Each structure stands twice: as C-alpha cells, then as structure tokens.
Amino acid sequence: MRSILIDPTGREISLTTKPRSIVSCVPSQSELLFDLGLDDCITGITKFCVRPAHAFSKKQIIGGTKNLRLDKIAQLEPDLIVANKEENERHQIEWLADRFPTYTSDVRTLDHAYTMISDLGELTGSMENAMRITENIQVRLAPLMRQNTSSSVAYIIWKNPLMTVNSDTFINDLLSRIGLVNVFAGRIDSRYPVINEDDLLTSRPDFIFLSSEPYPFKSEHQRSMAIQFPHSKVMLVDGEMFSWYGSRLLAFDVNFIQELR
C-alpha cells in the first residue's frame, strides 16, 4: 500500500504501509475510523470520543479536543494522526504534524464530509468500507433531501450567551439540504455568532432548534423558550445528527422531517 494525498489544509500525507497506530483527535472521525474496520489500529482517542461506547475504555485517552496531551500522543508513536481544523488547536496540530503524519480535515459541507471519508479510506487501506459508508449515507439522506419544507429555523448551540451558526458551517449545509432556511446564515461576524433574544424575536423563525451539544439543552430550556418565543416552534434536536460529519450520518433521523410539517 502506498498513499499520498494533500489534506484540506494543504499538508501532504505520505504513507507506504497501512498505519498500525492511529490517533484520533475528533469524536466524529473516531467513530468513522472504527466503522472503517480499524479497531485494532486505533491507539488513542480524546475523552469526548464516546462512540462506539464499547471502545472508550480500551483506548488511550489523549486529552480533550482543545487540550491534547502531546506527550501521551508521542508515546503512542502514531503512524497517522486524524485531526480537524476547527475542533483542534492549530499550534498543537502543527507540533504533531512536524513529527507524525497528520491529516487535518476542514468539513463545512456534506460534500466535504464525503471527501474526508474517502481520504481516510485511502490513507488506512479501507477504501471499500469508505465507499460503502458514503453510499449508505447518501441513501439514508435521500428521502430528506427530496422534500422542501420552505420553513425558517434558528439553530442554537449555546445558552449564555446565545450562539447560533452562520452559512459557513456543516450544520447550515445540512439544514439547507433538507429545505430549511437558516435565519442567521447571513451573519458574517463569526461562524458561530452571538445573538440575543431581540434577534430571535425580530427574525421570527418558524422553528428554533436547541441542540444537545455543545450546550446540553434540556426540556426545561425548551419549555422556557416556547413561552418566550410563541411565534416559533421550539424543538430539542440531536446535536450529533447535525454536527458529526462521519459515519454518524448513517443514523440521521429520517422521520425528523415529518415533525417540521
């Protein structure tokens, strides 16, 4: 096996053999690596890499996504490190990339996710599994993408302060693909803009989605916001469904669109 590719950050990764020690710094990509059939090759994961659940206690924990334990990673002598431009800290990934083959994804659309799955399939000698996963995701999402609700939505990811997503995000891309218009897509101050209650009131979205991550919105938040914003239907949504850009997409709730009617 010999693989040479350029990752989305412009870094060249060259592998002559299938990696025997893979460290993943991103939860959604960790799950993907397991689903690619690489369980025996994965040596390190973050404390947030909770899927698949059975694997968590069997792998070396190398810190959190924003505070990687570089010493622990180095001790694992990885043949491949899998990171993400947004989820990991640049200076830490650059330190690792100077020492070990490091693939850094930059996933802002569903098409980017497909490319990332293909790249990891190529780098790990599991392209057949990667193609199968991509094809199954496309089949899974097809019924949702054939429908257009023509409804507007505010997708809330944090409580204090209130934070949402703009157009340059994977979440926004998924929302638009299932026919939802993100009322804050035009905000250019940040990929994850801070908003206030007046912004929500004046934008009058048909739906307010309260994500389960990174802030763990619960039923009490839903009830409170439903009173505060009576012109919008407030819903709790699975954050993994909208923000995990690997094989977690295979579990996207195909019945979800029915609740938007």
> Does pTM surpass 0.85?
yes
CB 167 within 8 A of CB 186: yes
Looking at the structure, do residues 100 and 226 belong to the same domain, yes or no? Answer: no
Looking at the structure, do residues 68 and 44 belong to the same domain, yes or no? Answer: yes
Average pLDDT over residues 128-135: 98
Looking at the structure, do residues 19 and 114 belong to the same domain, yes or no? Answer: yes
Looking at the structure, do residues 109 and 163 belong to the same domain, yes or no? Answer: no
CATH assignment of the domain containing 123: 3.40.50.1980
Q: How many domains does the chain have?
A: 2
Q: Answer with the one of 119, 140, 161 that is the final residue of a domain.
A: 140
Looking at the structure, do residues 121 and 172 belong to the same domain, yes or no? Answer: no
- Tell me the per-residue pLDDT of 57-88, one tens digit each, with 9 for 90 and over: 899 999 999 999 999 999 999 999 999 999 99
Looking at the structure, do residues 74 and 151 belong to the same domain, yes or no? Answer: no
Looking at the structure, do residues 91 and 214 belong to the same domain, yes or no? Answer: no
Rg (CA), the chain: 19
Q: What angle do CA 11, 14, 18 make, to 5 degrees?
A: 130
HSE (side-chain half, CA atoms, 13 Å) at 40:
3
Domain hosting 11: range is: 3-140
Percent of the chain residues past pLDDT 70, beyond the cut: 98
pLDDT for residue 152 is more than 90 = yes
Looking at the structure, do residues 128 and 177 belong to the same domain, yes or no? Answer: no
- Tell me the per-residue pLDDT of 195-227, one tens digit each, with 9 for 90 and over: 999 999 999 999 999 999 999 999 999 999 999
Looking at the structure, do residues 112 and 212 belong to the same domain, yes or no? Answer: no
